[in-house]
Amino acid sequence: MTKLSPQQTRQCSTNALKMIYYVIIGLAITEALYRTFLKGGSFPGLKVFWANNLPSTILLFALLPTICRFVHGASIHLDMISEKRYKPLLDFIGFFIQASLFYLMAASLERPLVFSFLFGGMLLCDAFWLIFLRLINYIDLGSTEKQWMWSDFCIIGLFVMLYMINKTMACVWSVVGILIVAIVGTFLDYFLNKDFYFPTSETVTSANTM
């Protein structure tokens, strides 16, 4: 059997860890769609917009763009080549926790207060995970990573404000507030970090020559 090079072995390890991460994310999205569009095992039709179902429907549209931007960033981050031996494993631990919290958020769409706490907890874990990797010199905090941390703490602050206004988070306007915060956070992330997510050929060439 041909022995793999160290780089090939590291890539295989990264791919295996990514697959586990993607499976949990897939389960989270499936759970969210099921809880929103299959009430009692059948599709409720326009009832998803009725008052008793509206909060979970709104939170679904807050969850999906948030998952998209975090998974997008995680996929790029996992594929970044590093000389640090255990970086793929540390990445996986952080992203496994993140994916698990996304699943719990999906399972809590009908409970806005629990959803908001899990959302804030996921953002807090993301920020502290980045800080931890920097403290052990496994990553450098570039403009993208710094923006992620600022975004995490700002969104948590906004959630605290929403909680102070309505401690049960049951009011539909609190849920709409979560939706707006999630969409604006996603838009700003993609806009401010467009060179990270969608680099041009010039950006790639510049990075390779550094």
pLDDT at 53: 85
Which range has the top average pLDDT, 62-71, 86-95, 159-168?
A: 62-71
For residue 163, what are its two tokens? 């909680």
Q: Please give the pLDDT value at position 204.
A: 52
Q: Which residue has the higher pLDDT, 83 or 46?
A: 46
Query: What CA–CA distance (Å, rounded) separates 83 from 98?
Result: 24
pLDDT of residue 160 exceeding 90, the answer is yes
Element (H, E) at 20: helix 6-37
pLDDT of 155 reads 97
Indicate the SS3 state at residue 209.
Answer: coil
> For the chain, what is the total number of helices (H) and then of strands (E)?
8, 0
Tokens 């959302």 found at:
119
CB atoms closer than 10 angstroms to residue 172 = 12
Q: Is 146 helix (H, G, I), strand (E, B) or coil?
A: helix
**Count of C-beta atoms within a 10 Å radius of residue 160:** 12
Q: Which of 29, 16, 38, 121 is closest to 67 using CA atoms?
A: 29
pLDDT greater than 90 at residue 163: yes
Q: Which residue type, as a one-letter code, is found at position 29?
A: I
Query: What does residue 193 show for φ and ψ, rounded to 5 degrees?
Result: -120, 35
**pLDDT at 209 (0 to 100):** 45
> Strand, helix or coil at 39?
strand
Beta-ladder partners of 42: 39
- Residue-averaged pLDDT of the chain: 88
User: What is the pTM (predicted TM-score) of this model?
Assistant: 0.90
79 pLDDT above the threshold of 90? no
User: Hey, where are the domains in the chain?
Assistant: 6-208
Task: Read off the pLDDT of residues 84-124 as tens digits, 9 standing for 90 and up.
Answer: 777 778 888 999 999 999 999 999 999 999 999 999 999 99
Q: For residue range 101-110, what is the model confidence (pLDDT) as tens digits? A: 999 999 999 9
Task: Supply φ then ψ for residue 102, to 5 degrees.
Answer: -60, -40
Is the model more confident about 168 or about 204? 168
What is the mean pLDDT of the segment spanning 197-205?
73
DSSP annotation of 80 reads S
Helix axes 54-79, 6-37, angle to 10 degrees: 180
**pLDDT score recorded for residue 208:** 46
pLDDT in tens, 149-158: 999 999 999 9
Task: Report the amino acid identity of residue 144.
Answer: T
